[in-house]
Copies of this chain bind each other. A is one copy, B any other.
Amino acid sequence: MSMTTLWERSRQVAVQAILDTAVRLFAEQGYEQTTIAQIAREAGISQRSLFRYFGTKEDLVCGDQEALGELLKRTVEQQPAEMSAWDALRAGFEVILTANHPPERALELSRLIFDTPSLHARYIEKRLRWQAELVPVIRARLGSGPGRPAPDTQAKAIVATVFACIDTATELWAGHDGRIDLADLYDQCLAAVRDHG
């Protein structure tokens, strides 16, 4: 794996150093009040190189979403074919949860994102890309009975709803300082939507 050698490795070290510095400064003085110049200075790297590692300031917080999106898509695809769209998505969500940062860090990041409008927007933008990629995967799982909406409409609606519930659950979770299990909150959100009566 680590065949591409030293370049690769020192890159990882630099990325981690930048990330630690950035998150610390964001927590200390807020996202908007922290400049790229300051992060670069304290991380001992040039501003120019920082932008090569992280294309935007927002990526310092929402950066590793790309990888998680890939993982999510693959996990959902690999669920048994007889599993419903809802259950497959739920399984994907579960995997993401365990693959994510240590909970303490995830909590810190979540708070930062939900409290900072520009970050929140960028986070949503990344999430929208996951959604678009998941739609075909979900469509393949739908029984196309008569009197049902077009499969594409169904798939888009289901995926959008699942993400809305993930988002809601995450916000509640951050609001409770992580004391309530995130998966439980997700199930409650989905139950509130899907259970009639």
CA distance A138 to B150 in the complex (A): 30
Find chain B residues with CB under 8 A from A188 CB.
149-150, 153-154, 157
Find chain B residues with CB under 8 A from A150 CB.
188
For the side of the interface on A, what is the size category? 35 or more
CB distance from A158 to the nearest CB of B (A): 6
Given contacts A125-B117, A125-B124, A192-B148, are A160 and B164 in contact (CB under 8 A)?
yes
The contact of A117 among B128, B168, B185, B192, by CB within 8 Å, is B128
Residue contact A156 to B189, C-beta cutoff 8 Å:
yes
Find chain B residues with CB under 8 A from A67 CB.
none
Find chain B residues with CB under 8 A from A194 CB.
193-194, 196
CB distance from A148 to the nearest CB of B (A): 7
Find chain B residues with CB under 8 A from A122 CB.
121
Residue contact A156 to B128, C-beta cutoff 8 Å:
no
Given contacts A160-B167, A164-B164, are A153 and B185 in contact (CB under 8 A)?
yes
Cross-chain pairs A/B with CB under 8 angstroms, 19 sampled: A121-B121, A124-B124, A149-B189, A149-B191, A149-B192, A153-B168, A153-B189, A154-B188, A156-B168, A156-B171, A157-B164, A157-B188, A157-B189, A157-B192, A160-B167, A161-B161, A161-B165, A163-B164, A193-B194
Closest 4 CB pairs of A and B: A121-B125, A149-B188, A157-B189, A160-B164
If A118-B121, A156-B172 are given as contacts, then 8 extra A-B residue pairs at C-beta distance below 8 Å, sorted by A number, are A118-B125, A149-B189, A149-B191, A156-B168, A157-B165, A157-B168, A157-B193, A158-B193
